Structure 1
Amino acid sequence: MAGEDLGVLISRISMRDRSAFELLYEQASPKLFAICLRILGERGEAEDALQDIFVRIWQRAGTFSTDGRSPMGWLATIARNHSIDRLRQKKPATRDIDDVYDLADGARTPEEDAHLKSEGRRIDHCMQRLEPDWASAVKDAYVQGLSYNELAEQYRVPLNTMRTRLRRSLIKLKECLEA
């Protein structure tokens, strides 16, 4: 991306540097807006989401670390998660999250591609260590965007059982990924 390094800008933003924030907005907003628009499907919604996302970036810049993550990857994750949260809040019956899930960035470097594939294999390996129903419930919750209520109905279990099942599954995934 042209201009100043995004990681440097994020570091400056963590020190409340407004000029760095303006530069980051100029450099990153087109891509982040595209992510929002693709997920939300409506220009007005995407514009509102983008504004919220930059507020979050301002507030969370101090949490960014360069431990193998690209600055744009960090920004895109914030945009993606916020947009999916907004989509879940609206939960229109005519929109399927599968339509917006694939957010691959065509401009990834070979190193980023290799890292993502490696991480994907690690996640797949850890998902296989879960009981099949639990792994399926995790995918339904975090990929399909189903609510706890929807999952409890689908798997025919009480709501609190589903919450516990997902929480325990995520703990096991985290332990596996940290090993």
Structure 2
Amino acid sequence: MAGQDSELSELIARVVLRDRQAFLDLYSASAPKLFAITLRLLKDRAEAEDVLQEVFVKIWNNADRYLPDVASPAAWLNAVARNAAIDRLRARRPAARSEGLDAAERLADPGPGPEAEAILRSEGRRIETCMEELPSDRAEAVRRAYVEGESYLELAERYAVPLNTMRSWLRRSLIQLRACLSA
């Protein structure tokens, strides 16, 4: 895992210098996973492919923004892909036309109201409480898989367990979380 991180870091550093071969190598190493992230969020193959192209344009133009002290290269790449897909989802929403809207509607905060925020915070606490019931390595694996986007193979390598064991860990952890959350 550390070898892959150092390789990705080196490729990103070379992309900053406009090394086209490094960019191609970075694409080869990371495109499948980044495509999976965009496809999972957008649920449309053609749109995910378009966003993936945008992601690599952003990486080419903004590779100098990667800070190795802040995040792993894989986490940074995943975040670029996730943010691009989320931007695309937001762009899907029809834009509100200001014609015909009164001043109160134009000034209204589009975010969730106090009641919705309280519910979200409550749900977040419930999830954290349920996560604490999992063994710490299982909880960390769930976070890495479903929040950071690590693959089963990456997690199996990280925890030095067979791939099928990692799949079982995650499956059982999700079942336990579902049971806890529905209780």
Q: Deviation per CA, 1:62-89, whole angstroms, max 9, x where unpaired?
A: 1112104110100000000010010111
Q: Does 1:67 align with 2:37?
A: no
Code of the residue aligned with 1:21 in structure 2: it is: F
Residue 30 of structure 1: aligned partner: 32
Q: Does 1:105 align with 2:107?
A: no
Aligned counterparts of 1:12 and 1:65: Cα–Cα separation in 2? 14
Gaps of 5+ in 1: 93-101, 111-179
Structure 1 stretches of at least 4 aligned residues deviating more than 2 Å after TM superposition = 1-4, 102-110
Residue 40 of structure 1: aligned partner: 42
Aligned counterparts of 1:80 and 1:62: Cα–Cα separation in 2? 19
Residue 88 of structure 1: aligned partner: 90
Code of the residue aligned with 2:52 in structure 1: it is: L
Aligned counterparts of 1:47 and 1:64: Cα–Cα separation in 2? 23
Aligned counterparts of 1:42 and 1:68: Cα–Cα separation in 2? 31
- The higher radius of gyration belongs to 2
Aligned counterparts of 1:7 and 1:105: Cα–Cα separation in 2? 17
Code of the residue aligned with 2:13 in structure 1: it is: S
Aligned counterparts of 1:23 and 1:32: Cα–Cα separation in 2? 14
Residue 56 of structure 1: aligned partner: 58
Residue aligned with 2:33, SS: helix
Which of 14, 18, 21 lines up with 1:19 in the alignment?
Answer: 21
Q: Deviation per CA, 1:18-52, whole angstroms, max 9, x where unpaired?
A: 00000000000000000000000000000000000
What pairs up with 1:120-139 in 2 under 5 angstroms? none
Aligned counterparts of 2:69 and 2:35: Cα–Cα separation in 1? 25
TM-score (norm 1): 0.52
Residue 9 of structure 1: aligned partner: 11
Aligned counterparts of 1:76 and 1:91: Cα–Cα separation in 2? 23
Seq. identity, %: 47
The RMSD of aligned alpha carbons is 2.2
Aligned counterparts of 1:39 and 1:105: Cα–Cα separation in 2? 15
Aligned counterparts of 1:73 and 1:25: Cα–Cα separation in 2? 15
